[in-house]
Structure 1
Amino acid sequence: MKFKDVRKKGFKSFKPVNETIKLLSSHLSVMPEEKVDTIDALGRILAQNIKSPVDIPHFSRSAMDGYAVKAEDTFGASLKNPKRLKIIDKIKINEVSKTIIRDKTAIEIPTGGPIPIGANAVIKLEDVRRDKDNLEIYFPVAPFKNVAKKGEDVVKGDIILNKGKIIRSQEIALLLASSILKVKVIKKPSVAIITTGSELVKIDETPKVGQIIETNSYTISSLCQVYGGKPVRLNIVKDNEQALMESLNNALNYDIIAFTGGSSVGEFDLIPHVISKRNDSQMLVHGIAMRPGSPTAIFMIKNKPVFCLPGFPVATMISFETFVGYTIRKMMDANELDPRPKVKAILKRQIPSRFGRRDYVRVKLIYDKEQGEYFAEPVRSSGSGIISSAVKADGIMEIPEDLEGYEKNSEIIVKLYLPR
C-alpha cells in the first residue's frame, strides 16, 4: 500500500481488523528453533512433536498399600466365606521382590512398589484381616485392580506433546518423567519498544505542567512477556524526524519493532511519515476500523514488522494485544494465537456501536451465585487515556463490525486480561 500522509488531513478510510490481521499474517515468518533445558522451558512453544523414549510407568506398580495377589485366589470371597492366603514376603518401596507369587500366596506391598512375578492384583490393607503370616480376604478383586500397569500413563514411542504446544508445569513433569532433558522450542522474538513524544518524562522524574510520565513502554513490555516475546525497552524519543529515524535504524537489530505515540493525524505525529522515508519500507495499513486504536499503522522493513501504536495507554494496550501479541504468537508458530481466557457473560446494560467499526469495551465481571453465571458491567470512561478504567476492568468485550451494539441482557464473550 502506498503511504499517504494523513497529518492535519485525517483518514479517508479504515481497514477492518480481520483484513488487517490476514494481511499482516501473510508477511510473517516463523522464528528459528533452539534447544533448551526442559527445566527452563516453562512458557516456551514446542518446535516439533515429542515421542516418549520410555514407558510410564516403566514397571507395573502398586497403586495402594496392601497385598499383591493372584486375583483368581480372591474370587468368591465374602464376609461369611473368606479366602485364606499365606504371606510369603514383604516388599519395600525401593525393592524388587525375587519371590514368585504362587497359588494362595500373597506379598505385602507399599504404594509404588513393583508388582512381583505371578501377581496381577493388589488388595487393600483395609479389606483384609491379618494374623501373623495368614491373610483372610473378604472381598474379591478383579485382575489388575489397584495396579498401575507398565505403560499405563504413556507407551514408549507415543507422541506425548504436539508441535506448537505451550509448555506448562505439567508438560515439564511429563517430559522429565520421559527422561527428556532437552527440548527444541521456537526462539522468542525480540521486541524493540520505542516510546515517542516531546512531552514524556521518565518514571523517576517529577512532571511539570504539559509533561506526562512515560508508562507505555512498561505496559507493553509486560504484555510482550505474557504473549511470549522478549521485550527490549529503548529510550524515549522526542518528536524529531532525525532522532526518530536513528531510533528506527537501531531498532532493526530486533525481530519486531513497536513505536507508541505519534501515529495519528496531528502535526507532530511523525512516525509513519519517518518510516515511509526508508526505501525498503512497505506500509500494510494506516488507519484501522477499531475503537480505541484507529490510528494504528503497520509497516514491513527487511521482513520485520514495525508497529505504530497510539499513545493513549488503553489504546496502546488494545492495539498491542490485537496486532503485536498476535504477531509474537504467529512468529512462534503457536497453536493458540490468542492466549486470553474467555468467559460467557450477560451484559448488564445496552452498549451502542457504529456499524463498520469494531469496538473494544472494558468490562467488569460480577458472578451471580444464585444464577450460576457472570454478568458484565461496562466500565464508564471518558476515553482511552484513562488508565484506571483498565484497572477496574476484568477484560474486554468486542462488538463486531456488523453490529450496531448489544442490547441489555445479551450474551457476550469476555476476553480476560492476562495474567490471571
Structure 2
Amino acid sequence: METFDSAQRLLREAASSFGCEEVDLHEADNRFLAVDIVADRDYPPFNRAAMDGYAFRIEDWHDGIRTYEVVEVVYAGAQHKQELKKGQCYKIMTGAACPERINVIIKLEDAIEVSGTVSFTVDRVAEFQHIARQGEDVKQYEVVLYAPQRCNAQIISLLASLGVSRVSVYLLPSVSIVTTGSEVIQPDLPISPFQIRNSNQFLLRSLLKKWSIVPQLCTHVDDNVPSLQAVLREALKHNITIINGGVSVGDADYVPTVLGELGVKVLFHKVSIKPGKPILVGQTTGGGIVFALPGNPLSCLVTFTVFVEEYLYYCFQYSQRMIYKLPVLDSRRKKGELTEFFPVKIHPNGGLCMLEYNGSGDITAALGADGFAIHPHEMAEIAQHSWTYFYPL
C-alpha cells in the first residue's frame, strides 16, 4: 500500500502533455496557456491622460504663469493638431495621447474656464501628475504571461489588449467515465428500497466540466464480468479512464481483475488515506491512465480532487500544484494511522470550520464545503488554531 505522498509522486511521474493547439480567443476561457505571451509594444503605448483636464508644460507653471489659453481639445483616439506656445494649454480627455513635451495635467474639477482661457484653484502641481507614462505598465518584448496558466476572464482581457486573437493552449484529454454496481440506477428511473441512484456519474461529469472536459464516453455497467470487460475495452481507448466503484476487495469488486486482463499496468492499488483507500491507478497499453475510484460519494470526490486533478495539473505542465495552508478553528483527533481528508468551510476570518458528516457514504458530507483539509498520518491530533494544508474545491 502506497503512502499519500508516494502515490502522488507516481502520478506526477506518469503525467505528460496531451499536446497543444491554437484556438480563437473567445474559445480560450478555462483552457491552459501553452506558451509565454510577450508584449507587442509598450503599455501604455504613449503618455496617456488619466483624467479629463487641462494639459500643458510644467515649465510654464514654474515661470509663474497661472492663466492659460485653451488652443485645442484633444480626444481619446485622436492626434493633436496644434503645437503649444508659451502660456497655452490643451483641454484633454481621459485616455487621450498627450502631445510631446506635455508633462502635467490639472483635472477639470480644479479648473475655471472662461471664454477660451483657464485658471486653476490649486497652488501646486507635480510633473506628470494625472499622466500614465508610456511603458509604465509593460515594456515592449516583456513577458506578460508565463505558461502554464488557466485562462480566466482577466487573462482573456489581457490577451485581447495585447492583440492576441488566437492563443496556443494545451489539448484537452479524451476521457471516459464508467460507473459500476448492480445496485446503482439512473436518477430518472423507479427505485427499489435496496437501490441507490447514480450520483457519482453526475459528480464526475461536473468535476470534469471545471476543466472544460466533456467525456466522450459516459456509461454504467452492472457487476458482471463479461459486461465490464466489453465496456472497459472501449473505455480504455481514451487518454483518461475514470471508473467508479467495484475497486475494493468484495466478492463483486471485479474491476482490478478485469483491468489486469485488459493489460493495464497497476501503478498503485490502495493508498493509506481515508476516505479513498481502495483507489487503483494504472496505465493502459496505449499510454493512457486509469483511475478506479471508490464508490462512496465522499471517497469519489476526495480521490478525484487529490489524484485526478493532481494528474491533470502536471499534464498541463505545472511544476507544482497550488494548495493552501490555513488554521483550523477546532481541534481534531483521529484513531488510525492513515492520512485523513475532511470537509471544511472557510470562515470569514480565514480559518477552517470542520463540517459534521456520517462517514464517506453520507450523501450530504461535502454539502457547503469549500474544500478538504488534511490530517497527516503522523499526527494523532490537530490542535485548535494550528495550520494544516487545504485543497480547495
TM-score, with normalisation over the residues of structure 2?
A: 0.93
Give the corresponding residue for 1:142: 126
Distance 1:294 1:282 in 2: 19
**Contact map agreement 1:100 1:118 (CA 8 A) in 2:** no
From the superposition, tell whether residues 232 and 123 of structure 1 become closer, same or farther in structure 2 (CA, over 3 Å): same
2:33 paired residue number: 46
Shift of 1:410: 3.0
**For 1:397, which of 368, 373, 376 is the aligned residue?**
373
Which residue is 2:146 aligned to? Answer: 162
Is 1:102 paired with 2:93? no
Distance (Å, rounded) in 1 between the aligned partners of 2:73 and 2:92: 6
Q: Is the 8 A contact 2:246 2:294 kept in 1?
A: yes
| Equivalent residue for 2:14, pick from 18, 24, 27 | 27
* Aligned position for 1:10: none
| SS of residue paired to 2:391 | strand
Alignment partner, residue 152 of structure 1 = 136
List runs of 5+ in structure 1 lacking aligned partners: 1-13, 368-372
- Paired residues, number: 391
Q: Which runs of 4 or more aligned residues in structure 1 lie more than 4 Å from their structure 2 counterparts after TM superposition?
A: none
The match for 2:362 among 386, 393, 397 is 386
The amino acid across from 1:249 in the alignment is R
Kindly provide the amino acid, as one letter, of the partner of residue 347 in structure 1: L
Q: Secondary structure at the match of 1:236?
A: strand
% identity of equivalent residues:
28
Aligned pairs for 1:143-292 (under 5 A) are: 143-278=127-262, 280-292=263-275
Gaps of 5+ in 2: none
Q: What amino acid maps onto 1:16 in structure 2?
A: T
Amino acid at match of 1:287: K
Q: Which residue of 1 aligns with 2:313?
A: 329
Deviation track 1:326-375 (CA, whole Å, cap 9, x = no partner) reads: 1122112235635x6x46233324322423x21001224444xxxxx345
- Aligned pair in 2 of structure 1 residues 327, 69: CA closer, same or farther (>3 Å)? same
1:59 and 2:46 are equivalent in the alignment? yes
* Change in 2 beyond 3 A, CA 1:160/1:410: closer
Tell me how large the CA RMSD over aligned residues is: 2.0
Letter in 2 for 1:96: Q
The CA deviation string for residues 20-73 of structure 1, in whole angstroms up to 9 with x for no partner, is 111122122111000011122111111111112222232322111111100122
Provide the secondary structure at the position in 1 that maps to 2:215: strand
Amino acid at match of 1:107: Y
Structure 1, 324-333 or 54-63: larger mean CA deviation: 54-63
Q: How does 1:111-130 map to 2 (within 5 A)?
A: 111-130=94-113
After TM superposition, give the deviation of residue 324 of structure 1 in Å.
Answer: 0.9
Is 2:340 aligned against 1:359? yes
Q: Distance in 2 between matches of 1:376 and 1:183?
A: 38
Partner of residue 299 from structure 1, selected from 282, 306, 310: 282
CA distance in 2, matches of 1:405, 1:15: 22
Contact kept in structure 2, 1:45 and 1:165, CA below 8 Å: yes
Q: Deviations over 1:117-150 (max 9, x none)?
A: 3322211122232221222244332222211223
Could you give the per-residue CA deviations for residues 88-123 of structure 1, whole angstroms, max 9, x where no partner exists? Answer: 112233421111122221011111122123322211
Residue-by-residue CA offset, 1:270-317 (whole Å, 9 max, x unaligned): 001100112x32111111100000000111002111011000011011
